[in-house]
Amino acid sequence: MNSTEPAQYLFNPVIPSLAVAGSDRRFPVRRVYCVGRNYAEHAREMGHDPDREPPFFFTKHPDGLLADGGVFPYPPGTRDVHHEIELVVAIGRGGADIAVEQALEHVYGYAVGLDMTRRDLQAEAKKMGRPWAVAKAFDHAAPCSALVPAAEIGHPGTGRIWLDINGEPRQEGDLAAQIWSVAEVIAHLSRLFVLEPGDLIMTGTPAGVGPVEPGDRLSGGVQGVGTLEIVVGQ
Ligand code: MN
């Protein structure tokens, strides 16, 4: 290859996308936002007071999505990778400064996701006052199920959210325990970024986070939305 090689060597044209359940269509993904500490019990298990914090956000890379049924390669640079099962919101209509009352009109659909986290690197980042990117935005850090359109299932505000490892319960919660509702999350986020179709929002995890090991089978879900299963690779 020399400097006159065509751009295909320099630019990967593959747009990350999610399957749309029950159809052949794909949902092209633009950005992946995540909410920190959105369930009180999880905030407490991480050593924070859930009553004192407005929502805060971090991001993952869209090409870090991993489809349902996939193998999650155990990532480098860590010895403590944690699972965080989350409801994922897909934005279908963009906007800025979106009012809470109109926020759900911007939702295309929902999915089940895992906010995989290199917890040891996150702890170091917190201690040093450094960004969370290496803890949260590594390769394959966002396993996600197929999307289910809100036109089919509505907007789940309550319902069980859970994660099992090798058939044993690890995380258990209810969407009703979210500190910030989906509508409130969209409203807050849209004051910081212009939302566009294709944006995903991982809405936080209930209590029970913990480490995964090579060979583990992670299976979780959100009642009324769907399920997600991945295997941890070597
Ligand atoms: Mn999370």
Q: What pLDDT is recorded for position 188?
A: 96
Closest by CA position to 141, among listed 29, 35, 60, 233: 60
Kindly write down the DSSP assignment for every residue of 3-21, as one continuous string.
TTS-GGGT---PPPEEEBT
* Closest to 137 in 3D by CA, of 32, 29, 60: 60
Closest by CA position to 65, among listed 130, 153, 7, 140: 140
Q: How far is the CA of 49 from the centre of ligand 1 (A)?
A: 16
CATH of 23-232, one of 1.10.20.10, 1.20.1200.10, 3.90.850.10, 1.10.390.10: 3.90.850.10
Residue 2 confidence (pLDDT): 55
pLDDT number for residue 12: 64
Per-residue pLDDT of the chain (234 residues; tens, 9 = 90+): 456 666 665 666 789 999 999 999 999 999 999 999 899 888 889 888 887 678 999 999 999 999 999 999 999 999 999 999 999 999 999 999 999 999 999 999 999 999 999 999 999 999 999 999 999 999 999 999 999 999 999 999 999 999 999 999 999 999 999 999 999 999 999 999 999 999 999 999 999 999 999 999 999 999 999 999 999 999
Q: Ligand 1 centroid vs 146 CA: distance in angstroms?
A: 19
3-state secondary structure of 186: helix
| Domain layout of the chain by residue ranges | 23-232
Cβ count within 10 A of residue 14? 6
Determine the pLDDT at residue 13: 72
Chain centroid to CA 190: how far?
Answer: 17
CA of 199 to the centre of ligand 1 (A): 16
Structure tokens that stand for 116 in this block:
């995989």
Ligand 1 midpoint to CA 37 (Å)? 7
Strand, coil or helix: 119? helix
Cα 77 to averaged position of ligand 1 atoms, centre (Å): 19
pLDDT of residue 54: 83
Classified as helix, coil or strand, 169 is: strand
According to the model, what pLDDT value does residue 51 have? 78
